Structure formats: structure tokens, C-alpha cells
Amino acid sequence: MKNIVLFGPPGAGKGTQSTNIIEKYALIHLSTGDLLRAEKAAGTELGLKAKEFMEKGDLVPDSVVIGMIENKVKANPDANGFVFDGFPRTIAQAEALDQTLQENGLSISKMIALEVDDDELIKRLLERGKVSNRPDDQNEEIIANRIKVYNAETAPVADFYKKQDKFTSVKGIGSIDDIFESLCKVIDQL
Ligand code: ADP
């Protein structure tokens, strides 16, 4: 079982690399951002609630995302493992994830952080905004808020896994293939 938290700021490349990882290692991709956008697109009550937060670049309340992840873990008892992308984003989420995994006889193998500096992130997000149709990618103020929220609330989640000796990082700048190779070197050792 390989249960990986792919970590890093908005625009670090978590979504792109998650897609590569799940294909190579036959894991299940759990992206809270994708799940929330799907709820929003379907017009569910949860989606409508999440929309307000997402469009400002704020975090959706912990209880909402924790519930979504719990359901997905429970719904996939035969999985080879999971790649958590965009989750956990707060210490409370990290604690809840540990608990949920434990209840299902599982645990996190590793958190792998993609390291990218702020200037590169802003550039990438604005580029993505031109094609993604994501309202939160199209406005520099919202992007700046997402990075601020990341630094304040999400960056400390790395310490949570450092304390458990489960943290490592790779350089997130370079070609997609080179970054994937760095990630595979870590994952192959799990
Ligand atoms: P990015 O990492 O590029 O910001 P995501 O798709 O991961 O993109 O997230 C988009 C938005 O969805 C976030 O700005 C936030 O509002 C919401 N979101 C996603 N995951 C979480 C989470 N784990 N906790 C709270 N809010 C979340």
C-alpha cells in the first residue's frame, strides 16, 4: 500500500503529477479541489456552500472536506493506495486523515512536497487562468490570497508529517518529466 500526500502551494503542479503517479502505480487520486469543483458543477448544496469560499481563495470549512475524503476512502476498500492532492490543508484535516486511515487499517506512507517559489507560482496560475475557466485563477488578488492562506494555514501541515518522519521534498521547477522522475525515486522506495 502506498498512501501519498502530494503537497505544495497552489500552482506547484500537484494535479499534473498526481495524474502521472496514479497511472504508474495504479493508485486512486483524491483531489479535494476536483471533488469540490464537481459538487459545484452539479449544483449540490455542498457545492454551493463551497463556491463562496473557493471564489475568494479561502479554505472551505474543514468539516466539509474531511467528510468528502472519509467517504472516498471508505468507498475504496480494495485500493492499492491513494494520492491525496490538496488535502490535508490544515492541521485539523491532517489529524482527521490519520484517524480515518487508522479506522480503515491504513496510514500515510509519505508526504512529498513540490518546491516552487512564489513568482513562478503566480506566473503559472495566471497562465492556467487563461485556459482553465477557474475563476480563482483569473485574478491576481485571489491568487495572492490563496498563497497567503497556504503560508498561514497549510505550510504548517508539513511539520505534522516531519514529526512523524514522513516528510520529503523535491524540486518542482523543471520539465514535467524530470519532476516526475524525482517523485518516482521517492515512491519506489516506499
Ligand atoms: P490549488 O491547489 O491550485 O489552489 P485546488 O483545486 O487544490 O487548487 O483548490 C481550489 C480551492 O478549493 C481552494 O482555494 C479552496 O478554496 C478549496 N479547497 C480545496 N481543497 C481544500 C481543502 N483541503 N480544504 C479547504 N479548502 C479546499
Domain spanning 2-188: CATH superfamily: P-loop containing nucleotide triphosphate hydrolases (3.40.50.300)
What is the residue with the minimal CA distance to atom 13 of ligand 1?
Answer: 54
- What average pLDDT does the segment 81-106 reach? 98
- What average pLDDT does the segment 33-44 reach? 97
Q: Is 7 in the pocket of ligand 1 (CB under 6 A)?
A: no
Q: Is 53 in the pocket of ligand 1 (CB under 6 A)?
A: yes
Distance CA 52, CA 2 (A): 34
Q: How many whole angstroms from 92 Cα to the centroid of ligand 1?
A: 15
CA distances from 37 to 19, 122, 189 (A): 17, 21, 33
Look-up of cell digits 468539516: 63
- Domain spans, the chain: 2-188
Q: What are phi and psi of 168, to 5 degrees?
A: -150, 160
pTM across the whole model:
0.96
* Residues designated catalytic: 14, 89, 128, 134, 146
Distance CA 47, CA 57 (A): 15
Distance CA 152, CA 64 (A): 20
pLDDT at residue 133 in the model = 86
Computed from CA positions of residues 61, 41, 70, 2, in that sequence, does the dihedral angle turn out positive or negative? Answer: negative
* pLDDT beyond 90 at 60: yes
Q: What is the pLDDT of residues 108-162, one digit of tens each?
A: 999 999 999 999 999 999 999 999 889 999 999 999 999 999 999 999 999 999 9
Nearest to 167 by CA among 155, 159, 178, 175: 159
Q: What is the pLDDT of residues 127-136, one digit of tens each?
A: 999 998 899 9
